[in-house]
Amino acid sequence: MAQQQTYEVWAPDATSVSVVIDDGAPVAMQADGPWWRTSTAPTGPGRYGFVIDGGQSSGAGGDVLPDPRSPRLPDGVHGLSAPFTVDEDLWTDGGWQGRAIAGAVIYELHIGTFSPGGTFDSAVERLDHLVDLGVGFVEVMPVNGFNGTHNWGYDGVAWFAVHEIYGGPAGFARFVDACHTRGLGVVLDVVYNHLGPSGNYLPRFGPYLTDGANTWGQSLNLDQAQSDPVREYILDNALRWLREFHVDALRLDAVHALVDHTAIHLLEELAVRTDALAAELGRPLSLIAESDLNDPRLITDRDLGGYGLAAQWDDDVHHAIHTTVSGERQGYYGDFGSYECLATVLTGGFFHAATYSSFRRRRHGRPIDPAVVPSTSLVVYTCNHDQIGNRAIGDRPTAYLTPGQLAIKAALVLTSAFTPMLFMGEEWGASTPFQFFTSHPEPELGEATATGRIKEFADHGWDAEEIPDPQDPATFTRSKLDWSEPDEPAHRRILEFYRSLIALRAGSPDIAANSLTSVEVEFDADAGWFAMHRGGLSTVVVLSPADTVVPIALEPVLLWDPVTTTDTGFTSTGHNVVIGRRIDA
């Protein structure tokens, strides 16, 4: 006799709820306050869905709706739910003790384009490359269920499921286990500020959304009537990845779009529960916020009035380095690009810290107190999915910078006082773009996406013909890494430089210092050089393309190009990096 299963769903405003199992007749569920429950034995594989108030056949999903907490959706976000529990025999990571985020090198990747196969198992085949590179964490862009075959992942609607084409939940568990057995931690990118446009059935069940909106659509109901179960929905989802899938950290997408006016913000509540789970499991668990607010309260300890998150992304550091090296100053880059700006972010973390932002036309940000916030609480990068993929044509810096300029950007990030992050392929100067791609099955949604992309960049002077069509399968294919490139001499040289930088970072106590006060800078903008001193180790970058005399005497440890040294300094012939021990005068 088949074992009985319990089915339950939160539907506070429903007058009746039934569950349909394996295409059988609807089974009535009993109300238990706002929850509906029943227990019955499936006669087949156990695929199931719910019928609310007799069904709404005119709705996108017809009468039978997938479970809002579907652990698996084998037929996609419009299909029936399926049971799934991670097989404990799958795990071989019993010796994994976890590791802290602070100061480690993170490597961001997109499962669909990281490897030729575009699956978790295919990605596992490339993990040894990351081990040889020396990174500590793999950060995976969102893998929750979305409609279509390929997507960046931020249009997810099935937060508890894993995209089947990547390998589903079992494939993700295998990937995490493979990372751990190689000594790599796993960061999962999760999105709690909005839902995608196709397959979002949550409003059919209850007040998951509000009338308010953010950039991407309706906001989640975090603080209005009946919001407590919605908050639990998010909290349960986050903790599930950490507990059941052995994930080590979560990157929380665009937390500035979380509208929460309760006394205990959702982020603080999640941090409290994450810390409790870490104590229970006996391994570090971390939360990393993406935030546009430049607000250090996110990463300030709770006993000092903060939320107590482990880290947050810092776009200001990216903007300062990118504009100084590339010369680009359009849009939100307008306030950046000077040597003074670069000095500010490397010693202070934020450029806009209660200062005027010309792009926003108001004051922005808040200063960081180095006595309160460790510098490693800021995650910095020269590339990430946004800073490449949200360019008009998704071009990487390799398309418009010299190899020496790429080396400059890498050195400033990897010898900084922050926690550095790379974007897949950056380490060998990948020539493949990372473009914005979608695969919406609905023609009207695909057309709206493509049209919106064209309009967005037309305002910046781009012709429509130049903007890749997100719906064109070739846009996705172009964005896959070319794994033959690391064997080519020019790419190999960049790769070896990255490896050397990461090894230097791992072996240098000066770089390990995790306070903003551990950084001193000096520069000569007219001469074209900039120096960042970390204790006895100095990173000097030459941004001038001509012969440049740098009056800092160093015993070189790592170079991009050879230099002519003297007792008083050195001369470089172009874009260059010189890292070394300073020789006292």
The alpha carbon dihedral of 474, 475, 480, 484 has a sign of positive
Q: Can you state the percent helix, strand and coil of the chain, rounding each to 5?
A: 30, 20, 45
Check the annotation: does 303 bind a ligand.
Answer: no
The residue among 259, 262, 308, 301 whose CA lies nearest residue 285 is 308
Whole-number Å distance between alpha carbons of 54 and 241: 34
List, edge to edge, every strand of the sheet that includes 548-550. Answer: 548-550, 570-572, 564-565
The residue among 413, 387, 390, 406 whose CA lies nearest residue 315 is 387
Please count the other Cβ atoms lying within 10 Å of the Cβ belonging to residue 30: 10
Check the annotation: does 534 bind a ligand.
Answer: no
Show the tokens assigned to 553. 């005497």
How far, rounded to the nearest angstrom, does the alpha carbon of residue 90 sit from its chain's CA centroid? Answer: 26
Active-site annotation holds for 290: yes
Check the annotation: does 253 bind a ligand.
Answer: yes
How far, rounded to the nearest angstrom, does the alpha carbon of residue 492 sit from its chain's CA centroid? Answer: 26
Out of 290, 295, 314, 426, the active site residue is 290
Show the tokens assigned to 443. 């023609």
| Secondary structure (3-state) at 124 | helix
Place of tokens 């059935």: 201
Whole-number Å distance between alpha carbons of 136 and 139: 10
Check the annotation: does 329 bind a ligand.
Answer: no
Whole-number Å distance between alpha carbons of 21 and 376: 50
Check the annotation: does 252 bind a ligand.
Answer: yes
Whole-number Å distance between alpha carbons of 208 and 151: 24
The maximal CA–CA distance of the chain, rounded, in angstroms, is 87
* Consecutive H or E run containing 503: helix 489-507
Pairing of strands 27-28, 217-220: unpaired
Whole-number Å distance between alpha carbons of 76 and 117: 19
Tell me which amino acid residue 191 is: V
Check the annotation: does 389 bind a ligand.
Answer: yes
The residue among 274, 272, 295 whose CA lies nearest residue 285 is 274
CB contact set of 216 (below 8 Å; sequence gap of 6+): 154, 193, 194, 257
Check the annotation: does 89 bind a ligand.
Answer: no
Check the annotation: does 22 bind a ligand.
Answer: no
Backbone angles phi, psi at 166, to 5 degrees: -70, -20
Instruction: Indicate the burial class of 292 (C-beta count within 10 angstroms; 0-12, 13-18, 19 or more).
Output: middle
Check the annotation: does 387 bind a ligand.
Answer: yes
| Secondary structure (3-state) at 18 | strand
Check the annotation: does 251 bind a ligand.
Answer: yes
Go through the chain and tell me how many residues it has: 585
Instruction: Indicate the burial class of 97 (C-beta count within 10 angstroms; 0-12, 13-18, 19 or more).
Output: exposed
Check the annotation: does 319 bind a ligand.
Answer: yes
Check the annotation: does 315 bind a ligand.
Answer: yes
Out of 155, 164, 223, 253, the active site residue is 253
Tell me which amino acid residue 148 is: G
Whole-number Å distance between alpha carbons of 338 and 319: 11
Check the annotation: does 526 bind a ligand.
Answer: no
Check the annotation: does 317 bind a ligand.
Answer: yes
Check the annotation: does 411 bind a ligand.
Answer: no
Indicate the Cα dihedral angle 210, 213, 218, 221, nearest 10°.
-30
Check the annotation: does 557 bind a ligand.
Answer: no
| Secondary structure (3-state) at 553 | coil
Mark the binding-site residues for substrate, compressed into ranges.
Answer: 251-256, 315-319, 385-390
Mark the binding-site residues, compressed into ranges.
Answer: 251-256, 315-319, 385-390
Residues tagged active-site: 253, 290
